[in-house]
């Protein structure tokens, strides 16, 4: 079954539909969890301006062609069971959903349940798509690592390990939230001078980080069992937008020697729709060869079929006064998935090189994605160069870092000539004052 020919669902043409449903055509079909309209938490698929209630579909027997284990997993309130079923089940489900939603098929369109199983995407609440078991954040964009490194070590921006392994830290799964949740400005230890003394204050240098997230699936590897780069491709169910909210002043004081801690653990936002690896397959770009002066990765990090994803990102900011005055948000930067130096598969392979177990529902962040240009920097630390080059918003106010009432909106789409645009939707969050 291909995605050509379009869907019978209003607002979901083959090119992806119009207006707010654009980018959510048959070629996409992202999966997520939701509640609303009197229905408890359940799974759904986004199609155009609508959401398909998978619980209703299973109940009514519309998905009877799928294996019973798949139907059971699709009737749950989170995706973890489905994630654990692995690639065969994911592909079979995608093919069947494309068949049922295509214009040439009446099996769902003409079934009594159709009216009840499709709802407007706007009246419901999107939830976290799965229970996040563990969350790891990487640092895989060379432009980001070079920019941030050069602020602190002008002559030696990249640490000696950077081109040999995907640098990462273990993040906090309990504070991963779905888009729309407000972020509370954190308290923490901050210093005036580099060596202290510290005081407990509200964070003054609150930042966002634009990242690509990967949702791990497939059967968990045993402790001690490594996952190769090639196998990693089959362990990633799909991708989300991720905003790694960061408290730069807390980070500066606490990060050595074990990495960020309270500067990162107060909140991480993800977009609620998982765009599947299957849908993204045509948007893969081979990992470019390393430059002449660059080291080749060790063998366990090499695979001829490895790829990056051509996702185009943008970050926009809207202040409280801009919204009061009806001003549109301001796009402050754009960057691409192809700006990453390490692939998601390499990150997963390195994550497990020690034998670390990865379970369905684990989340991996790419690290801030920045391009080479000054308007391609994926966080305010870089964009304003530690606050030395503030940006001016349309309401005339300056930003070095985020202020209370600011909203950060991250968007992304997979793009390729001749193919429909695949939308990731949005990842939004407001800044609330310190409690």
The single residue of 55, 143, 144, 351 carrying the catalytic annotation is 144
Which residues partner with 189 through β-bridges?
200
Residue count at the site for Mn ion (CB under 5 A)? 3
DSSP for 293-339 reads: TSPPPPGGG--TT-EEE-EEEEEEEE-HHHHHTTPPPEEEEEEEGGG
Considering the complex, state which of residue 137 and residue 376 has its C-beta at the smaller distance from Mn ion: 137
* Least distance in angstroms from the C-beta of 184 to Mn ion: 18
Least gap, CB of 264 to Mn ion (angstroms): 7
Spatial distance between the Cα atoms of 378 and 208, rounded to a whole number of angstroms: 8
For residue 233, give both structure tokens.
């491709």
- Binding segment toward Mn ion, per CB under 5 A, in 65-73, 209-217, 311-319, 376-384: 209-217
Structure tokens at 326: 């009806």
Residue nearest to Mn ion as judged by C-beta position:
244
How near is the Cβ of 150 to Mn ion at its closest, in Å? Answer: 18
Residues 321-360, mask of contacts with Mn ion (x by CB under 5 A): ----------------------------------------
Any residues with CB less than 8 A from the CB of 283 and at least 6 apart, and which? 309, 310, 311, 414, 415, 416, 419, 422
Comparison of 24 and 162: residue with beta carbon closer to Mn ion? 162
Region binding Mn ion by CB under 5 A among candidate stretches 137-145, 305-313, 316-324, 399-407: 137-145
Of the pair 169, 385, the CB lying nearest Mn ion is at 169
Minimum CB–partner distance for residue 254 and Mn ion (Å): 15
Question: Which residues, in sequence order, are bridge partners of residue 414?
Answer: 311, 422
Burial class (CB in 10 A: 0-12, 13-18, 19+), 354: exposed
Q: How far is the CB of 126 from Mn ion (least distance, A)?
A: 22
- Which of 53, 81, 207, 209 is the binder for Mn ion (CB under 5 A)? 209
Whether the CA torsion 376, 382, 387, 389 is positive or negative: it is negative
Q: Cβ 137 to Mn ion, closest distance in Å?
A: 5
Please compute, for residue 98, the number of CA atoms within 13 A of its CA located in the half-sphere on the CB side.
21
Q: Does 207 bind Mn ion (CB under 5 A)?
A: no
- For 325, other C-beta atoms within 10 Å of its C-beta total 10
Whichever of 137 and 254 has its CB closer to Mn ion, that residue is 137
Residue 379 and residue 210 in contact, taking contact as beta carbons nearer than 8 Å: yes
Helix%, strand%, coil% for the chain, nearest 5: 25, 30, 50
**Closest distance to Mn ion from the beta carbon of 238 (Å):** 19
Site string for Mn ion, 233-262 (x = CB under 5 A): -----------x------------------
Closer Cβ to Mn ion, 137 or 306, answer by number: 137
144 catalytically annotated: yes
45 forms beta bridges with 31, 52
Closer of 137 and 249 to Mn ion (Cβ): 137
Nearest in space to 67 (alpha carbons), one of 92, 87, 45: 92
96 versus 209: smaller Cβ distance to Mn ion: 209
Going by the DSSP 8-state scheme, the letter that residue 55 receives in this structure is H
Calculate the CA 56 to chain-centre distance.
27
Within 76-135, the residues that bind Mn ion by CB under 5 A are: none
Among 53, 134, 137, 339, binds Mn ion (CB under 5 A): 137
What residue ranges bind Mn ion (CB under 5 A)?
A: 137, 209, 244
- Residues serving a catalytic function are 144
């Amino acid at each position: 079954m291909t995605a050509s020919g379009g869907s019978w669902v209003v607002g979901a043409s083959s090119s992806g539909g119009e207006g707010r449903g654009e980018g959510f055509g048959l070629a996409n079909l992202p999966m997520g969890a939701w509640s609303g309209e009197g229905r408890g938490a359940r799974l759904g698929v986004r199609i155009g301006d609508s959401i398909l209630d998978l619980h209703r579909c299973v109940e009514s027997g519309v998905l009877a062609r799928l294996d019973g284990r798949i139907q059971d997993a699709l009737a749950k309130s989170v995706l973890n069971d489905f994630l654990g079923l692995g690639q065969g089940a994911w592909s079979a489900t995608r093919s069947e959903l494309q068949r049922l939603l295509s214009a040439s098929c009446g099996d769902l369109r003409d079934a009594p349940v159709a009216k009840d199983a499709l709802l407007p995407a706007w009246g419901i609440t999107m939830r976290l798509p799965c229970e996040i078991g563990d969350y790891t954040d990487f640092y895989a964009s060379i432009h980001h690592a070079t920019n941030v490194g050069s602020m602190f070590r002008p002559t030696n921006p990249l640490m000696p390990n950077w081109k040999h392994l995907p640098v990462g830290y273990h993040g906090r799964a309990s504070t991963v939230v779905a888009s729309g949740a407000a972020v509370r400005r954190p308290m923490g230890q901050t210093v005036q001078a580099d060596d202290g003394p510290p005081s407990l204050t509200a964070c003054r240098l609150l930042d966002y980080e634009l990242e690509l997230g990967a949702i791990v699936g497939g059967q968990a590897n045993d402790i001690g069992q490594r996952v190769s780069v090639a196998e990693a491709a089959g362990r990633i169910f799909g991708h989300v937008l991720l905003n790694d909210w960061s408290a730069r002043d807390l980070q500066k004081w606490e990060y050595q020697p074990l990495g960020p801690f309270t500067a990162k653990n107060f909140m991480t936002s993800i977009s609620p729709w998982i765009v599947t690896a299957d849908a993204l397959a045509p948007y893969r770009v081979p990992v470019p060869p390393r430059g002449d002066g660059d080291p080749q990765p060790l063998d366990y990090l090499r695979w001829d079929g490895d790829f990056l994803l051509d996702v185009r990102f943008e970050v926009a900011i809207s202040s409280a006064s801009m919204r009061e005055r009806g001003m549109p948000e301001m796009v402050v930067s754009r960057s691409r998935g192809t700006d990453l130096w390490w692939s998601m598969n390499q990150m997963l392979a390195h994550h497990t090189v020690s034998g670390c177990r990865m379970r369905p529902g684990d989340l991996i962040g790419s690290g801030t994605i920045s391009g080479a240009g000054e308007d391609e920097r994926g966080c305010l630390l870089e964009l304003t160069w530690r606050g030395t080059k503030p940006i001016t918003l349309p309401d005339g106010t300056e930003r070095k870092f985020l202020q209370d009432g600011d909203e950060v909106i991250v968007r992304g789409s997979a793009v390729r000539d001749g193919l429909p645009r695949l939308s990731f939707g949005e990842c939004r969050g407001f800044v609330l004052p310190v409690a």
